[in-house]
Amino acid sequence: MARVLFVNRYFHPDHSATSQILSDLAFHLAEAGFRVEVLTSRQLCDDPAQPLPREERVRGVHAHRLWSTAFGRGRLLLRAIDYLTFYLSATAKMAALADSDTIVVAETDPPLMSVPAALAARFRRAKLVNWTQDLFPEIAESLGVAGVALVSPVLRRVRNMSMQWASTNVVLGEGMAARLRAEGIGEDKIALIPNWFLPEPESVEPPGAGNPLRKEWGLEGKFVVGYSGNLGRAHDFAAVLAAATRLRARPDIAFLFIGDGAQRPWVEERGQALGLHNILFQPYQPLERLRHSLSVPHLHIVSLKPELEGLVVPSKLYAALAAGRGVLFVGSLGGEIANLIRESGCGRAFAPSADGELAAAVSDLAGDREKTADMGARARALWDSRFRRSRALARWQDLLTRVSREGGA
């Protein structure tokens, strides 16, 4: 069986989205007989100070935890130093470990990991697969990150070069594939494999009184609209808070935020400033509680700033569909997610400025549980037909098997 060497800053037991998806795929491949190793950091995403073992074998996967600085996410300059030190450690380790029988799979944390991975793979005559979770530098440009626009042309050129050198580049959606085609990446270099939700539920837990978290969080008897996952810079929360403000006089409706991220402090502070007692916050939940936490809401909010359409696909979409909950999407009405929701009937889509429409939809669905349940059933049907974990893992296994049989780099 082929030898697969993954590269990503975070891996099991970290709970960040890229870590969980990578861990799931790595464990699956190890069970299937692949020789799997992971180059990762010694940190947890939300606790950089907590050290992890330098070398560890987990469920058949050999994790090499590399040294890098651990300043965390607080300031962009310090985060850039974390990225740089990881680049250096990972490149050196790839050059030491990879050979002509190795497939290097580079994720996009840190950004542009494909570039040092491509250099190391060519030096060692290894094969390269880029797992494109988002597109950098475009995403940084769209978010207005200082200084990126000045160097963006150079960054795009080296990024595109690393993609041309790869055996293939895995993207999460058609919008992302279209972006790569526009950059001159050939169709034969692009493979579309959506992400998935972990764990994969075999049954949908109804949002009734049987859910222990509804009682624990004081949500019994309420119609809950939930947001679960990273509250990051790519997401728009102004419309959600405005809708919550419009519905503040409805004691039967609550807005629940589960997770953390760069925008959580702002969302909390803004909610307090508006005097919103109908919103509450919970931290990331451990894996064994996701079945319950994702089932607390009757509806799930998914948001993406319109300018980021095609650059990233929010992983919380997969969680909402897997949990069998209708989706209220805030973002581009002409984008991939909005079109998916319209075609499947699993939710509704709103422009970021349409907080009045969003509030009206929540009010309408809170009074029509049959309609809400139908949206949830359609969401789960969409998951079953297109986004099941088993489907994605099988496609990954087939792809890596094919790449392993190709000629050398």
CB contact set of 200 (below 8 Å; sequence gap of 6+): 322, 388, 389, 390
Look-up: residue for tokens 């850039």? 80
Token reading at 239: 């419309």
Go through 25-55 and write b for each residue having 16 or more CB atoms within 10 A of its CB, e for each that does not. Answer: bbbbbbebebbbbbbbbbbbbbebeeebeee
Residue 409 has pLDDT above 90, yes or no: no
Q: For every residue of 291-360, which 3-state class applies, written as one string?
A: HHHCCCCCEEEEECCHHHCCCECCCHHHHHHHCCCEEEEECCCCCHHHHHHHHHCCEEEECCCCHHHHHH
Kindly state the percentage of the chain with pLDDT values over 90. 80
pLDDT reported for residue 98: 97
pLDDT reported for residue 251: 96
Give the chain's mean pLDDT: 93
What is the spatial distance between Cα 9 and Cα 405, in angstroms, rounded to a whole number?
A: 28
pLDDT digit string (tens) for 299-354? 999 999 999 999 999 989 998 998 999 999 999 999 999 999 999 999 999 999 99
pLDDT reported for residue 13: 92
When pLDDT is averaged across residues 239-253 and rounded to a whole number, the result is: 97
∠ Cα 214 216 222 (to 5°): 30
pLDDT digit string (tens) for 141-176? 998 887 888 999 999 999 999 999 999 999 999 999
pLDDT reported for residue 351: 97
Architecture of the domain made up of 3-196+388-404: 3-Layer(aba) Sandwich (3.40)
Token reading at 120: 């190391």
Residue 190 has pLDDT above 90, yes or no: yes
Residue 281 has pLDDT above 90, yes or no: yes
Q: Which of 85, 79, 108, 96 is nearest to 6 (CA)?
A: 108
Confidence of residue 80 (pLDDT cuts 50, 70, 90): confident
Confidence of residue 198 (pLDDT cuts 50, 70, 90): low
pLDDT reported for residue 39: 98
Sheet architecture: strand order including 61-66: 55-58, 61-66, 35-41, 3-7, 102-106, 127-131, 168-171, 190-192
Domains 3-196+388-404 and 212-387 share a fold: yes
CATH class for the region spanning 212-387: alpha beta
- DSSP letter at 238 equals H
| Least confident stretch, 16-20, 74-78, 373-377, 385-389 | 74-78
Residue 246 has pLDDT above 80, yes or no: yes
Confidence of residue 204 (pLDDT cuts 50, 70, 90): low
Domain boundaries, the chain: 3-196+388-404, 212-387
pLDDT digit string (tens) for 34-73? 999 999 999 888 777 788 999 999 999 999 999 999 887 6
Residue 203 has pLDDT above 60, yes or no: no
| Least confident stretch, 80-94, 118-132, 204-218, 377-391 | 204-218
Alpha helices in 166-262 (DSSP H): 174-182, 212-216, 238-246
pLDDT reported for residue 147: 83
pLDDT digit string (tens) for 206-222? 555 578 999 999 999 99
Token reading at 353: 């400025």
